[in-house]
Amino acid sequence: MNFVLDSEVGQVELAIHAKYEKYGLALPKFSFVIVTKKINTRAMLKRGAQNFDNPKSGTVFDNMVTLPERYFAFVNL
């Protein structure tokens, strides 16, 4: 996270500063947010006895994955 703050955020601030100064505008307030992922759930589609595939693009996982106490099953599409 320090790397993001020290390098990437600094570069974004420099770019914003350069553009706003060029046009004589007041500098905007700037915030950055780092989101971390702590979910290790893997979803696979069962294709036969021993074959599994990744879900198709656009597949939506709702509360059945985020609330593991609920039962969920995947349909072979």
- pLDDT tens digits, 31-59: 888 777 666 667 788 888 888 888 888 88
- Residue 9 burial (10 A CB sphere; 0-12, 13-18, 19+): middle
Give ∠ CA 35-37-42 in degrees, rounded to 5: 150
- pLDDT category of residue 64 using cuts at 50, 70 and 90: low
Between 12 and 60, name the one with better pLDDT: 12
- Mean of per-residue pLDDT scores for the chain: 77
Tokens of 37: 């992922």
Which of the 8 DSSP states describes residue 69?
Answer: T
Give the pLDDT score at 75: 46
Concatenating the DSSP letter of every residue in 3-48 gives: HIIIIIIHHHHHHHHHHHHHTTPPPPP---------------EE-S
Between 18 and 38, name the one with better pLDDT: 18
